[in-house]
């Protein structure tokens, strides 16, 4: 019995040593000597197991399970971002890099309809810029900071970030013959249209008002003047003293009120030809159009429970 017990203990020790050796090898030894850079993006919400599988599929680590266990053992969180890794890095090196958040690129997503202050706040929240320094250089570029997904170098300067956005604007609009007035109208349409099919139609409404020398009466222009997109009150229509208040001033505001996407820009360049001068939105995003003020007021009563 003693011999059998010794044999069993010996086998267990051998298995333990083999397992320990494999874990040690997987953690301390690179998968190859290849120094070719491999890009990997870790997104917020990804599980350790998902990240491990991606690293394994890109031939950066020996074993996904070992990576997951190592992560559990360290107790450290993996930080989202874009990393440049190489097969000649050990699992230990790779984990150290991605747990410290030593990103090689920063992925940013600028949403359609954001104003420069919102972009500045978003970038500041990601620790990419100083908000005030960004605004000092970008405020006069309202409308030209093209909304899109960008991958920025980790040491990108404010000037470089702004150039990425404005160069993208030029590239995406170079064949559209866009005017300053087109861009201003597009920025209003971007904030007003809740559905894609309404963009050209709303642009047509504003075009009709401009041709008739009517005030645009566009709520987003007052919101822009106030510095936020919060709902406005009845008193705001006439008490917000700003050239951007289109309830007080005829014509377009002096500049864009947001950074519009391509769909709104195209709608502003080619507005739908229609006879509408008024519109409002229902809670579900449906837009109700009218040709006259009387019709508009009647529809406001008709749909009052849905507004």
Are the C-beta atoms of 87 and 32 separated by less than 8 Å?
yes
Instruction: Answer yes or no: are the C-beta atoms of 85 and 61 closer than 8 Å.
Output: no
For residues 56 and 87, membership in a common domain is answered with yes
- Note the pLDDT of residue 185: 98
Provide the domain count of the chain: 3
Parent domain of 136 = 105-173
Q: List phi, psi (to 5°) of 215.
A: -70, 145
Same domain membership, residue 208 and residue 244:
yes
Taking 90 as the threshold, does the pLDDT of residue 13 lie above it?
no
Task: Specify whether 265 is located in the same domain as 211.
Answer: yes
Residue 298 has pLDDT above 80, yes or no: yes
Query: Region 39-48: what's the mean pLDDT?
Result: 93
Other beta carbons within 10 Å of 283? 9
Tokens of 237: 């229509």
Mean pLDDT, the chain, integer: 94
CATH number of residue 151's parent domain: 3.30.1490
In a domain, 279, yes or no: no
Residue 11 above 90 pLDDT? no
The pTM (predicted TM-score) of the whole model is 0.82
Mean pLDDT of 267-278: 98
pLDDT range class, residue 4, cuts 50, 70, 90: confident
Give the pLDDT score at 35: 92
Q: 136-150, pLDDT tens digit by residue?
A: 999 899 999 999 999
Mean pLDDT of 255-266: 98
């Amino acid at each position: 019995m003693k011999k059998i017990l010794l044999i069993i203990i010996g086998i267990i020790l051998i298995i333990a040593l083999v397992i320990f050796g494999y874990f040690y090898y997987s953690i301390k030894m690179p998968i190859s000597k290849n120094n070719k850079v491999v890009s990997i993006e870790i997104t917020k919400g990804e599980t350790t197991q998902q990240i491990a599988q991606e690293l394994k599929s890109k031939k950066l680590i020996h074993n996904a399970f070992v990576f997951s266990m190592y992560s559990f053992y360290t107790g450290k969180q993996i930080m989202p971002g874009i990393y440049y890794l190489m097969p000649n890095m050990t699992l230990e090196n790779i984990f150290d890099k991605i747990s410290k958040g030593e990103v090689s690129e920063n992925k940013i997503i600028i949403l359609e309809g954001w104003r420069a202050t919102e972009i500045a706040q978003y970038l500041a929240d990601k620790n990419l810029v100083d908000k005030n320094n960004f605004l000092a250089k970008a405020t006069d570029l309202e409308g030209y900071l093209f909304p899109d997904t960008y991958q920025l170098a980790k040491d990108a300067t404010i000037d470089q970030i702004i150039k990425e956005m404005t160069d993208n604007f030029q590239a995406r609009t170079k064949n559209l013959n866009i005017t300053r007035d087109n861009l201003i109208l597009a920025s209003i349409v971007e904030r007003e249209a809740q559905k894609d099919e309404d963009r050209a139609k709303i642009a047509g409404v504003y075009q009709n008002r401009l041709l008739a020398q009517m005030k645009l009466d566009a709520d987003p222009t007052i919101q822009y003047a106030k510095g936020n997109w919060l709902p406005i009150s009845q008193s705001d229509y006439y008490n917000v003293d700003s050239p951007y208040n289109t309830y007080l001033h005829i014509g377009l505001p002096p500049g864009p009120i947001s950074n519009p996407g391509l769909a709104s820009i195209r709608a502003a360049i080619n507005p739908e030809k229609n006879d509408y001068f008024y519109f409002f939105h229902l809670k579900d995003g449906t837009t109700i159009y009218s040709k006259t003020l009387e019709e508009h007021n009647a529809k406001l009563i008709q749909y009052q429970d849905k507004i």
